[in-house]
Amino acid sequence: MSTLTGKFVWFEHHSSDIQTARKFYEPLFNWHTEAMAMGDQRYHMILNNNIGVGGYTTAQPAERSQWLTYLSVDDVDAAHRAVLAAGGRSVSGPRDFGSVGRGAVVADPTGAEFALWKSNDADRADAERTPSGDWCWNELWTPDEQRALSFYQRVFGYTREAMDMGPQGTYYLLKKDGVSRAGLMHSSTPKAPPMWLPYVEVDNCDASADKARSLGGQVVTGPTDIPNVGRFAILVDPAGAALGFIHSVERSA
């Protein structure tokens, strides 16, 4: 069984209205949703090309809508203790999720929430080329990038690579075992809360942006080209959660 520590392996839409989220994302990315048993509850799993890639969960009325990203770790309990020792906080402590795995939800010292996860099965292997509708990247938006960098390097053993983005400042790649696993940047939108922003691969960024608008979403950034990377946009869905999507250069051939 292979655990790809440092990889974000699951993505979960957290809002007060699962049906509204489904009506938006299923036609946008051609996703399919199936309800599966998890203990005494039903879990709404997102499938892309019949492969489970995420899910929908119901938020409490006071909780904001968001995509919660799951980080693969070797030991959830040990990682949870390390997060607290490094200045993070616990949102929900370690617990087992039926026969699927063990997880916890935490927040980094700048306030961005994410989940720690140890699957009872192998983590999904890295794809040579990300198919349309699947997750291709994850990006931390934070008001304090140096504090965040120190935290993720200390707790999860990431190394970092700085990229000069000109007027947009410095973009940091978080790497684990030589593989780029995520990005980290100073939040470009002051009103946006600290958050992890996941990206979905699409065949055509502009067409996906038009489709998102027609389904009731708000495209807040782009579509915009990033040289040698791809064309991307960022949306806020009808439930209030932010998400990125991109047509990557590697898929243009």
Give per-residue pLDDT as tens, 66-75.
999 999 999 9
**Chain centroid to CA 222:** 19
Q: Which fold has domain 8-119?
A: 2,3-Dihydroxybiphenyl 1,2-Dioxygenase; domain 1 (3.10.180)
In sequence order, the β-bridge partners of residue 95 are: 103
Q: Provide mean pLDDT across the span 232-248.
A: 96
Class of domain 135-251: alpha beta
Q: Quick: pLDDT tens for 166-215.
A: 777 899 999 999 999 999 999 877 788 999 999 999 999 999 999 999 99
Torsion sign (Cα): 98, 76, 114, 47 = negative
- Asked if pLDDT for residue 252 goes beyond 60, the answer is no
Whole-number average pLDDT of the chain:
93
Enumerate the CATH 3.10.180.10 domain ranges in the chain, comma separated: 8-119, 135-251
Strands 32-38 and 41-48, by their bridges, are antiparallel
Q: What torsion do the CA atoms of 10, 14, 20, 22 make, to the nearest 10 degrees?
A: 10
**How much is the average pLDDT of 120-145?**
94
| pLDDT on residue 72 | 98
What's the CA angle centered on 194, arms 192 and 198, to 5 degrees? 90
The model's pTM is: 0.94
The predicted structure's pLDDT at residue 180? 95
Residue type present at position 190: P
